[in-house]
């Protein structure tokens, strides 16, 4: 009996059973399709039986194609995590273990979301074509060697996923450090205003109101909201002003956190339970009415 040998470096528990499923239906009796698992020269090998009567039969080609198709899915869906981890360990070895784990989770998320690994995608097609070519001609395939030397598009995608993950992680880390500094600064400030409402005026610019809903002009003097709008720094200016004012309570009205969610998120993290998102006051109702009117027109 001839054999097709598949050497695998990173074995997952279900691999043997799935390989047997690939070939079982091609045999007249089920007990002929048992795949033998052996550990040879530090590698796990799966030996797939190929009965002599099939050597010149089209069934052999079907079996080889089925194995190639399954191994393509196996590489794309089951092997990525091992190689992502290796790339992180090699390229970002300076990161602490806890941060490497966070980067790995982000890299896997980016990888799994990439359309090219779906059937028909160019990366999946590269893997599938390579395995078809190999198993059509050979009775032995080493998955690790094939990955390292014959799948450049797949490896490039893994590296790209890791780099994207590191960029996102470092940006988030810097952001959290910045938030920490702002929270510390706010904790040192003595509240100068008991309650501060933040809404938008008719021109769509920020307006600060006191607890009687009267404009707090002293805190807006010297602030040219329109110039900040042009330079896209209006949200940063609002955050800076509120931190300087250090109100005891901040009420963000619906028009603000609907149109400026980034500023609202930052303020929520900095002021925590000192900030409230308002939805049901007259100012918010007026905004909802105006917003719905614009939607209909």
pLDDT above 70 covers a percentage of the chain that reads: 84
Name beta bridge partners: 141: 6
Which of 151-160, 217-226, 229-238 reaches the highest mean pLDDT?
A: 151-160
Q: Where in the chain does DSSP place strands (E)?
A: 2-8, 36-40, 43-50, 140-142, 195-200, 206-209, 249-252, 275-277
Whether 276 and 251 have beta carbons less than 8 Å apart is answered as yes
Residue (of 158, 191, 179) closest to 88 by Cα position: 158
Check residue 169 and report its DSSP letter: H
Every domain of the chain and the residues it spans = 2-180, 195-296
21-30, 43-52, 152-161, 239-248: lowest mean pLDDT where? 21-30
Tell which residue, 183, 166, 176, 140, has the closest CA to residue 273: 183
* Res 194: pLDDT: 87
- The region of weakest confidence among 93-102, 134-143, 202-211, 257-266 is 202-211
DSSP state of 272: G
The pLDDT of residue 41 is 83
> What per-residue confidence (pLDDT) applies to 159?
98
Query: Dmax over Cα atoms in the chain, in whole Å?
Result: 93
Q: What are phi and psi of 177, to 5 degrees?
A: -65, -40
More confident residue, 279 or 288: 279
Give the confidence band of 38 by pLDDT, cuts at 50, 70, 90: very high
Q: What is the mean pLDDT of the chain?
A: 84
pLDDT tens digits along 73-132:
999 999 999 999 999 999 999 999 999 999 999 999 999 999 999 999 999 999 999 999
Is-contact 124 72, C-beta < 8 A? yes
Rounded to whole angstroms, the Cα distance separating 169 from 174 reads 9
Q: What is the pLDDT of residues 145-172, one digit of tens each?
A: 999 999 999 999 999 999 999 999 999 9
The answer to whether residue 25 scores a pLDDT higher than 80 is no
What confidence score (pLDDT) does residue 89 get? 97
249-252 and 275-277 as β-strands: parallel, antiparallel, unpaired?
Answer: parallel
CA gap 205, 109 in Å, rounded = 38
pLDDT at 204: 78
Residue 217: band (very low, low, confident or very high) from pLDDT cuts 50, 70, 90: low
Q: What is the pLDDT of residue 33?
A: 56
Q: Report, as an integer, the average pLDDT of 268-285.
A: 83
**Residue 53: band (very low, low, confident or very high) from pLDDT cuts 50, 70, 90:** low
Would you state the pLDDT for residue 259? 87
């Amino acid at each position: 009996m001839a054999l097709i040998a598949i050497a695998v470096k990173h074995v997952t528990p279900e691999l043997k059973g799935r390989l047997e499923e690939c070939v079982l239906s091609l045999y007249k009796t089920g007990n002929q399709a048992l795949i033998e698992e052996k550990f040879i020269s530090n590698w796990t090998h799966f030996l797939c039986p190929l009965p002599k009567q099939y050597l010149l039969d089209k069934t052999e080609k079907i079996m080889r194609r089925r194995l190639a198709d399954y191994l393509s899915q196996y590489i794309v869906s089951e092997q990525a995590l091992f190689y992502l981890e290796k790339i992180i360990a090699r390229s970002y070895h300076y990161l602490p273990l806890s941060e490497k784990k966070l980067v790995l989770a982000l890299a896997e998320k980016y990888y799994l979301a990439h359309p090219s690994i779906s059937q028909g995608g160019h990366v999946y097609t590269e893997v599938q074509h390579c395995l078809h070519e190999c198993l059509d001609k050979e009775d032995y395939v080493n998955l690790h060697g094939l990955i390292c030397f014959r799948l450049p598009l797949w490896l490039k995608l893994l590296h790209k996923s890791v780099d994207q993950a590191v960029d996102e992680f470092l940006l988030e880390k810097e952001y959290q450090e910045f938030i920490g500094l702002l929270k510390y600064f706010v904790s040192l400030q003595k509240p100068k205003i008991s309650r501060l409402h933040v809404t938008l005026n008719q021109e769509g610019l920020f307006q600060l109101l006191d607890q009687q809903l009267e404009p707090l002009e002293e805190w807006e003097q010297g602030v040219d909201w329109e110039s900040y709008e042009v330079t896209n720094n209006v949200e940063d200016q609002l955050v800076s002003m509120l931190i300087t004012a250090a109100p005891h309570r901040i009420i963000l009205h619906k028009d603000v956190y609907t149109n400026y969610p980034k500023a609202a998120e930052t303020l929520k993290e900095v002021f925590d339970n000192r900030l409230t998102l308002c939805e049901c006051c007259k100012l918010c109702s007026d905004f909802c009415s105006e917003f719905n009117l614009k939607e209909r027109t």
